[in-house]
Each structure stands twice: as structure tokens, then as C-alpha cells.
Copies of this chain bind each other. A is one copy, B any other.
């Protein structure tokens, strides 16, 4: 639903929010959990505006999960109040500069589920793991997903220790336990659940938006040499759960409303079963959100963009992920996180993982300074970025999702 808070003509009294390049114009208003750098102050709920943060403590908002549990009507009312407070002409209030802030996870993440909705990624990776059978028959009938690890989700800027694990070289008789030599990233968005559903009580596809609070960037770090040995028959485990990095900011579904696009599927593909389909859903369940992967190395301090993609390439919508997840009665809760899976585009240079960009490790990437990479080396910093852009609307950015690799212990 579009309203006056999406009007690009309205400026903020915060000067930096009016910069066309900012991630956080008045029309975005993303949430975070922050405090002053280097202090042990309690974490506070904040809203990003330009290069500043509006502290919501004085608004009586101290529990992000409680805020996320609010209905879409209440969420919209809060957005309107934030918009009014920060728009040009309103009385100025104290702000906290982002340059002096540090962040933690924006909310308590009870359960984390990772989906696999990027069909180009699924095909490319499937080809490497199962050359004869890249895309399994269920892929086009249900949004494949699995449970991830909540405890090891960290906020952007947290260094990541290279994991050790069991690796079985194809020609060896038995596995060895050693540091991963095929450490990879995965370019994803994460959907934060708003209001939950009770155990045993599914909801319909047309009710799904009510349960969607907002999006964050998500890097699903992956150890590609641990994964093939461990993943059958119960799925990825230690190849993934050593760490997942998210951006500090939750961009609300309200901020993203102008970037909704129709959700369609090639006519020749199986169409979704009735509980995952509806006219309203087809009309606007996809999103035009640009995604990028960036790399910085110790010898190359100027980051280089490795890849560009877009959420519109997802084969399953956010609403379908939510509806499918709860379709058996599974209870979703405010603050739960649903990863989209790696969103690769159809072109080779639109891939969201090094595994794909290097054709399974066979074609090294050459960086501008002459270095090459197959997978990540110690000291490398991997960053994800995202933004929604459309003529007539302000650019909605997602902030940074960065992590640097520490050597194995």
C-alpha cells in the first residue's frame, strides 16, 4: 500500500537523508539495535535516517521483538509517526551519529530457517553436487528450506573464524579433520517475521504479508569442502552453522512497497498448488531489489564488486516461504529469520557465491590488482549490499553486511 510516506518529494530536516546516494532517506526508516561505540550501555532501538540514528527509547519502545509482533496497521501508524517526526519542517530532536554507534543483532532470533529459492543457484550448485540430476523434481513444487543455526548469527563487522571440519577428498579412503580450504559466501536476503501464528494454525497465502516485518542482508557463509561429505541424508550442518552474518538494519516491508512487482512463473513450469497461489499474490509478491557482492583483500584495500543480482530472480516469493513454512502448523514467532537462499541471476556474472563464480573452483577470479581467488583466504573481507531503486522514488538501501576471515584456530 502506497501513501504519503513514499512520496519522493518530501525531504527530511536531517540533511544527510536528502543526499540521493544515502541508504536511509526519509522514505526508508529502517530499524536497528545500537549503542555508543566502546561503551557497555544497554542496546537501544534506533531508526536510521541519513548518517544519523533516531533513538526510540524515549518513545517507550525498548523490545524490538514486541515491536515486530504488532499488526500491519500498527506498524504503518508507527511509520507515519516516524515520518512526521523526521520530515522537513518538524521540530528537530537529538540524533546519534552512525559514525559513533555500534550495532548488535536487531532482535532476538528464535528460529532461523534458510530457503533455497534462487533457481539459478540451485541449478548451478546441483550440477556440481549431482551432475546427472541438478534440479530435483520437488524444487518447482515447494520452496525447499531447512533449519539453520540461530546462535551463530552475528551482525555485520563481526570477524569470522575459518572453520575446521571433516573433509573427504574424492580419492581418499577416509576423511581428514582440517581447516576448510573452500570457504565461500552466499548472497541472500533475510526476512524477519512480524506477528506469529499459533502452533497448529497455518495461514493463507493472502494472509502472509501480515506476518512479514522486513528484510536484512544475509551472508550464509559456507564451507564447500565440509558440505558434500556431511550433507546426506539430513542436509547441511557444520558446513553452515559456524556463522551467518546479517546487516544491522531491518528495512520494513512498508518501505519496500513501491518496489513490488508481479510474481510470475514461466507458463511451461509447474504452477504452484492452490495454497501457495492467489490472484493478489501473483499481482505483486515479488520485489525488485538489487543485490551485490564485494571483496576486499589485505593486498587490495579498495573493494571490488564480484557480482550483481536481484531478488526478482527468486523462484519462490517471500509470501510463499512464509505460507509454506506454516502450512503444516509450524508456529512462526516475531523475530524469526527466513533466509531466501542464494539469489543468483541467470548470467554467470550474476552468481551469488564463489562456488558458482569460479565454476566449482575450476576458474579462478582475477582481481584488479592481479591477485586471484577461488575461495576466501584469511584476511579477506566479504561484503553484501542491496538497494531498491525506481524512477520517481527515493533509493532504499540496506546498509552493510561485512565480515573478515580470521585464520582457523
A163 to B275, CA, bound (A): 14
- The answer, yes or no, to whether A379 is at the interface (CB within 8 Å) is no
Contacts A164-B202, A327-B177, A330-B149 given; does A235 touch B238 at CB 8 Å: no
Contact A327 B145, CB 8 Å, known A229-B138, A409-B202 = no
A161 CB-CB contact with B under 8 Å? yes
Residues of B near A141 (CB, < 8 A) are 166, 168, 174-175, 229
A325 to B: closest C-beta gap in Å: 8
Which residues of B are found within 8 Å of A146, using beta-carbon distances?
Answer: 146-147, 234-235, 237
Give the segment of A150-158, A206-214, A289-297 that binds chain B. Answer: A150-158
A194 CA / B199 CA spacing, docked (Å): 27
Q: Is A200 an interface residue (CB 8 A)?
A: yes
Contact, CB under 8 Å: B235 / A175 = no
> For the complex, is A333 an interface residue (Cβ under 8 Å from B)?
yes
Given contacts A175-B273, A409-B201, contact A129 B233 (CB under 8 A): yes
- In the complex, chain B residues whose CB is within 8 Å of the CB of A46: none
A265 to chain B, nearest CB (A): 15
Q: Majority SS of interface residues in chain A?
A: loop
Are the C-beta atoms of B234 and A116 separated by less than 8 Å? yes
Smallest Cβ-Cβ distance to A116: which chain B residue = B234
The answer to the question of A243 belonging to the interface, with a C-beta cut-off of 8 Å to chain B, is yes
A169 on the interface (CB 8 Å rule)?
no
Shortest distance in angstroms between A83's beta carbon and chain B's nearest beta carbon? Answer: 33
Quick check: is A345 within 8 A (CB to CB) of the other chain?
A: no
Contact string, A335-363, partner B, CB cutoff 8 A, digits 1/0?
01000000000000000000000000000
A328 interface residue per 8 A CB criterion: yes
Alpha-carbon separation in the docked complex, A197 to B152 (Å): 11
List of B residues within 8 angstroms of A226 by Cβ: 328
Residues in B neighbouring A231, C-beta threshold 8 A: 233-235
Report the Cα distance A409→B409, complex, angstroms.
50
Is A110 part of the binding interface, using a Cβ–Cβ cutoff of 8 Å? yes
Task: Mark A221-255 against chain B: 1 for CB-CB distance below 8 A, else 0.
Answer: 00100100111111111100111000000000000
Would you give the shortest CB distance from A179 to chain B, in whole angstroms?
Answer: 10
A190 within 8 A of B: no
A118 to chain B, nearest CB (A): 13
Residues in B with CB closer than 8 Å to A201 are 409
The smallest beta-carbon distance between A94 and chain B, in angstroms, is 34
Asked if A144 CB lies within 8 Å of chain B CBs, one says yes
Nearest chain B CB to A184's CB is how many angstroms away?
14
- A332, CB-defined interface residue at 8 Å: yes
Q: How far is the CA of A257 from the CA of B275 in the complex (A)?
A: 51
Q: Are B241 and A330 in contact (CB under 8 A)?
A: yes
CB neighbours of A38 from chain B (8 A): none
Evaluate contact between B138 and A232: CB separation under 8 angstroms.
Answer: yes
Binary contact readout A123-150 vs B (1 if CB under 8 angstroms, 0 otherwise): 0001001100000101001101111111
Within 299-330 of A, Cβ neighbours of B (below 8 Å) are at 324-325, 327-330
> When A and B form their complex, which 7 residue pairs have the shortest distance between CB atoms, in order from nearest?
A235-B235, A161-B200, A163-B328, A147-B147, A146-B234, A234-B235, A238-B328
Show 8 residue pairs from A and B whose CB-CB distance is below 8 angstroms, ordered by the A residue: A144-B233, A152-B329, A161-B199, A175-B273, A177-B274, A177-B275, A202-B409, A233-B235
- By a beta-carbon cutoff of 8 Å, the part of chain A in contact with chain B is 110-111, 116, 126, 129-130, 136, 138, 141-142, 144-152, 154, 160-161, 163-166, 168, 174-177, 199-202, 223, 226, 229-238, 241-243, 270, 273-275, 324-325, 327-333, 336, 406, 409
- Given contacts A152-B330, A177-B275, could you give 9 more A-B pairs where the C-beta distance is less than 8 Å? A138-B229, A142-B230, A144-B230, A147-B148, A147-B237, A151-B333, A152-B331, A174-B270, A238-B327
